[in-house]
Amino acid sequence: MEPLLTTLQKEAATKQENLISLRRTLHQYPEVGWNEEGTSERLRNMLQAMGLTCSSPLAKNGFYVDIKGTQPGPTIAWRADMDALPISDQKEVPYKSKIDGFGHMCGHDVHSTVAMGITSLLNQHRDHIKGTIRIFWQPAEECNPSGAPVMIEDGVLKDVSAVYAMHCDPNLPSGTYGMRPKEETAAFDAFKITIKTEHTAHSARPHLGRDTIWIAHQVMSQIYQISGRITDALHPTVISICMFHGGYAINVIPDEVYFTGTARSARDTERRFIRKKVTEIAEAAAKVYDVDISIDFGKGAPSVYNNERLFSHFKDIVRKNLGRSAFITKDQSMGAEDFSFYTHEVPGLFIRVGTCESECTAHALHSNYFDIDESILSGTCALASYTLIQHLENLPLQK
The string of pLDDT tens digits covering residues 195-226 is: 999 999 999 999 999 999 999 999 999 999 99
- pLDDT reported for residue 104: 98
pTM comes to 0.94
- For 366-378, write each residue's pLDDT tens digit: 999 999 999 999 9
Complete domains list, the chain, with CATH: 3-184+303-394 (3.40.630.10), 187-297 (3.30.70.360)
Residue 112: which of 80, 156, 77 has the closest Cα?
A: 80
pLDDT per residue over 32-48, tens digit each? 999 999 999 999 999 99
Tens of pLDDT, residue by residue over 106-128, are: 999 999 999 999 999 999 999 99
Q: Reply yes or no on whether the pLDDT at 398 is more than 90.
A: no
pLDDT at 292: 98
d(CA 59, CA 50): 24
288-292 LR contacts (CB < 8 Å, sep 24+) = 289/210, 289/215, 289/218, 290/210, 291/195, 291/196, 291/197, 291/210, 291/212, 291/215, 292/195, 292/196, 292/197
**What would the pLDDT profile of 133-191 be if each residue is shown by its tens digit?**
999 999 999 998 999 999 999 999 999 999 999 999 999 999 999 999 999 999 999 99
Checking if the pLDDT of 324 tops 80, the result is yes
Q: pLDDT tens digit string along 239-290? A: 999 999 999 999 999 999 999 999 999 988 899 999 999 999 999 999 999 9
- pLDDT averaged over the chain? 97
